[in-house]
Amino acid sequence: MITKMKKYTFVVYHRDYDMFLEQLRHAGVLHVSEKEEGVVDNQVLQDQLHSQQQLDSLIKAVEAWVPQGATLQSAPTSTDIDELTATFRTMEAEKAQLEQSMQDLKKEQRRMQVWGEYSSEKINDLLNAGYELRYFSCSQSAYQPDWETFYNAFVVATEGGVVYFVTVGKTNESFDIEAEEVQLNKHNASQLATDIDAANHLLVAKNAQMEGWALSHLSTLKKAADDLRHSIDWTTVKLNTTSAAEDKLKLLEGFCPVERCDALNTMLDNEHIYYTVTEPTEDDNAPVLLRNNKFTKMFEVLTGMYGWPVYGEFDPTPILAPFFLLFFALCMGDAGYGILLILFGILTAKKKINISMFEGLGPIITTLGVGTLIVGFFLGTFFGIDLYTASWVPDSLKHVMLKGNIKGYDIQMVLALCIGVFHICLAMIVKAICYTKRFGFKKNISTWGWLLLILGGLVIAILALTEVFSPDVAKWALIIVGAVSALGIYVFNTPGRNPLINIGAGLWDTYNMATGILGDVLSYIRLYALGLAGGMLGGAFNNLAGMVLGDTPNIGTWIGFVLIIIVGHLLNLCMSALGAFVHPLRLTFVEYFKNSGYEGKGHLYKPFAED
């Protein structure tokens, strides 16, 4: 849910304004309202934001050099950040140069390996005596044995269909051989190996230097980043201040959560600051502070991926959380994979597994794993094994598994469609209630008309199919619901407007609803299809592993069996998890948010504070 806010307006004498801002920042509860024209074009702020971006990038690079669990040195009171930046970037460049030198030496060693252990000094002695050695390579088919007679050619090696040979002749003697001439390195392969070892020692020393530097200066860089963020906040507040009375007075607006207003009011009264407190309106663009329980809070990150609610809108997270968990579990559809997700989530939360993209997501991964374990059991799949047909599973457990057909349709597919119908109907109920609360009933008569038509029609159909309603009662109930809905959709959708225009708008709305709702419901079949595909692929890996093991297993077949099981299920787990994340997210962002009228154009509450 969204925390209620109060809007504050302050009027402060210009000489006291900086002191007032310091006190306001110390209180740390006010979200400063931004001017409509914005402040991003201010050059000072742009320079600060650019510096912050560079400093954050530097900190991220330095953090990579800090060993896990290492203790950082405390930050000094003052340091030249530009000098530190230049020093680290220089070390980075030197390290990159050493790595490139290592690669070049290794490449050169591989090139010289074929020429054996030659001596550059002896080659120079021959050159001084008037004889020159020249080195060539060509394909075996292109090599001509006559070269050994005419040019004193000697084959050094033959590798990969290539002949490497050397010729001996007098200095500056010209001749033409249809082969590629090779220039030898002054160092042979063994000498280059020594050079590589020396370069590696330099690289190890450079890595140690950068690690020590990171431990010594990371705290300093982080402190500088915090100071810079405070400066940016200060500049932003100043730019969002309005001057009045020939700059004698400063006007500032902001928002404070209701539960934190008492502390702010006490500070303002003690300092004799003039202020007013009002209720935010729709046009005030107040920030939102989400307040959810421990379970729902884990899923706020998904809400943020789409966009935060505007103040006065509804927080979709309490509904998003259980449905996303259910959708993810249905798409995974395997109890065994749920166990692996639980283990992965726990190890991630305890920092035993450190993968940057999963940082902070350990609890939600564990929760999704628990959901997958439970749903996977009811779907009857465990690491690709069909539990419903397994002889070692008790019959009492098989009775609760969702296996079988309903009027010729797989029960799991029917379940997915029923979930889709319920999810969309819930979205329409949420839209009708929230839009009525925000904009009033008169502007949402059409919304209520569609809700009555669809939801009422479904209820009547269910009551008729279960024979609670007789055919005649069901017919008259449908007529009444249809008539009332038609009035809201076609006649009173916009009170005060020409009825003919209302009818036209209603017909257009009917076309959109008729083509949209059916497609939205059918989209939920993916919950069934993805779970089915993952289970079938897991079963295929099991069958393949069983074929490799055979009827008379030995060490080799057992190794093949284990490799196929591990690699196959790991691959299936990764693909299933990706699909189970993306497709439920799509069902939420497209089908649910569209039908619930959720906009997601708000911004989070960020108080002007010291920390």
According to DSSP, the β-strands at 385-386 and 381-382 are antiparallel
Question: Would you state the pLDDT for residue 36?
Answer: 66
Half-sphere exposure of 301 (CA within 13 A, CB side): 11
- In which band, very low, low, confident or very high, does the pLDDT at 548 lie, cut at 50, 70 and 90? confident
Strands (DSSP E) contained in 427-536 are: none
DSSP designation for 489? I
Nearest by Cα to 240 from 29, 47, 10, 6: 10
pLDDT above 90 as % of the chain: 41
Is the sign of the CA dihedral 36, 42, 48, 49 positive or negative?
Answer: positive
Report whether 240 contacts 31 (CB < 8 A).
no
d(CA 48, CA 235): 9
Average of pLDDT values for 43-48? 83
Question: Would you state the pLDDT for residue 485?
Answer: 76
Question: Would you state the pLDDT for residue 502?
Answer: 67
Question: Would you state the pLDDT for residue 40?
Answer: 62
Report whether 491 contacts 503 (CB < 8 A).
yes
- In which band, very low, low, confident or very high, does the pLDDT at 39 lie, cut at 50, 70 and 90? low
Q: What angle do CA 469, 470, 474 make, to 5 degrees?
A: 65
55 C-beta neighbours (distance < 10 Å), count: 19
Locate 134 and state its tokens.
Answer: 């020249």
Question: Would you state the pLDDT for residue 48?
Answer: 84
* Buried/exposed 411-420: b ≥16 CB within 10 Å, e otherwise: ebbebbbebb
Question: Would you state the pLDDT for residue 363?
Answer: 92
> Can you tell me whether residue 140 is helix, strand or coil?
coil
Nearest by Cα to 497 from 453, 451, 445, 448: 445
- Alpha-carbon dihedral angle through residues 106, 110, 116, 121, given to the nearest 10 degrees: -40
Locate 143 and state its tokens.
Answer: 């090599």
Average of pLDDT values for 60-70? 85
Q: What angle do CA 475, 477, 480 make, to 5 degrees?
A: 110
Higher pLDDT, 401 or 364: 364
Query: What does the pLDDT look like over 155-192, one tens digit per residue?
Result: 999 998 999 999 999 888 888 889 999 999 999 999 99
- Alpha-carbon dihedral angle through residues 11, 15, 19, 20, given to the nearest 10 degrees: 0
Report whether 173 contacts 204 (CB < 8 A).
no
Nearest by Cα to 235 from 611, 585, 608: 608
Token match 């299920």: residue?
Answer: 569
Question: Would you state the pLDDT for residue 318?
Answer: 93
Question: Would you state the pLDDT for residue 166?
Answer: 95
Residue 290 β-bridge partners: 2
Half-sphere exposure of 298 (CA within 13 A, CB side): 18
- In which band, very low, low, confident or very high, does the pLDDT at 571 lie, cut at 50, 70 and 90? very high
What Å distances lie between residue 435 and 313, 447, 487, 552, 565, CA to CA? 8, 9, 19, 69, 52
Mean pLDDT comparison of 246-255, 429-438, 488-497, highest-scoring range:
246-255
Could you write out the three-class secondary structure of 512-536? HHHHHHHHHHHCCHHHHHHHHHHHH
DSSP designation for 358? G
Question: Would you state the pLDDT for residue 511?
Answer: 66
- In which band, very low, low, confident or very high, does the pLDDT at 481 lie, cut at 50, 70 and 90? confident
d(CA 595, CA 209): 58
Is the sign of the CA dihedral 353, 355, 358, 360 positive or negative?
Answer: positive
> Can you tell me whether residue 436 is helix, strand or coil?
helix
Residue 9 β-bridge partners: 253, 276
Residue 380 contacts by C-beta under 8 Å, 6 or more apart in sequence? 386, 387, 388, 398, 401, 402, 403
d(CA 503, CA 364): 48
Locate 336 and state its tokens.
Answer: 């065994």
- In which band, very low, low, confident or very high, does the pLDDT at 38 lie, cut at 50, 70 and 90? low
Altogether, the residues listed in the chain come to a count of 611
* Buried/exposed 204-239: b ≥16 CB within 10 Å, e otherwise: eebeeebeebbbebbebbbbbbeebeeebbbbbbbb
